[in-house]
A and B are shown apart, each in its own frame.
Chain A
């Protein structure tokens, strides 16, 4: 069965630290890749997406992610986090008409 793995369940960082959240998937075909963010008390927002082309994609609020096909990975990065980045981050993979979510990574940024 297809799966999406987010190995970091809970990450705690100080402001200005760099962030990298891992996402790996287990599908060998063509994929569309997403990172969604859920701020406290709010619904999902799309951070960024990859459909094709440049494997390094930039999203909102200074986030970026790199698609490495050989590693089946789509890790999320931000060079310098802010307190307002405290949220749940979900990686998702779309293959054909199927959509698979990771279990989410909780990020807490300490001022």
Chain B
């Protein structure tokens, strides 16, 4: 069983559309994250959720909204998609609350905005 799974793996869409990326973890972790791979191929943290509460929002446009229906899921909604949103997005999870435990990553979602 995949520990951290995110869907879809690829997402191609038009500018202005609204899309969601789903993430689920079966590790029983308390905290989940969304990372974005930037244009230099580096990973940067976007959001961190602990027990369904947002604890980090790193200067992300408010078009991006994480939704956590329960602690095993953290979905990423993106409204009014822009060309610059094209990137690979990674979900991750870890145990622990305010201190980040060892991260377990999903396989990434490649978003292409046309």
Q: Are A46 and B100 in contact (CB under 8 A)?
A: no
Contacts of A92 on B, CB cut-off 8 Å? 43
Quick one: closest A residue to B58, CB to CB?
Answer: A43
Contacts of A41 on B, CB cut-off 8 Å? 96, 98-100
Binds A, one of B15-23, B62-70, B73-81, B102-110: B102-110
Contacts of A104 on B, CB cut-off 8 Å? 102-103
Chain B 3-46 residues near chain A, CB threshold 8 A: 33, 35, 37, 41-43, 45
Chain B positions near chain A (C-beta within 8 angstroms)? 33, 35, 37, 41-43, 45, 88, 90, 96, 98-100, 102-103, 105, 107-108, 110
Q: Roughly how many angstroms separate A101 CA and B37 CA in the complex, as a whole number?
A: 13
* Chain A interface category by residue count: 20 to 34
24 contacts between A and B (CB under 8 A): A34-B41, A36-B43, A38-B100, A38-B102, A38-B103, A41-B99, A41-B100, A42-B100, A43-B100, A44-B35, A44-B43, A46-B43, A49-B41, A49-B42, A51-B41, A88-B103, A90-B103, A94-B37, A97-B88, A98-B88, A98-B108, A99-B37, A99-B90, A99-B108
Q: Roughly how many angstroms separate A92 CA and B107 CA in the complex, as a whole number?
A: 12
Chain A positions near chain B (C-beta within 8 angstroms)? 32, 34, 36, 38, 40-44, 46, 49, 51, 88, 90, 92, 94, 97-101, 104, 106
Contacts of B108 on A, CB cut-off 8 Å? 98-99
Contacts of B105 on A, CB cut-off 8 Å? 101
Q: Roughly how many angstroms separate A73 CA and B108 CA in the complex, as a whole number?
A: 22
Q: Are A94 and B43 in contact (CB under 8 A)?
A: no
Q: Roughly how many angstroms separate A100 CA and B102 CA in the complex, as a whole number?
A: 17
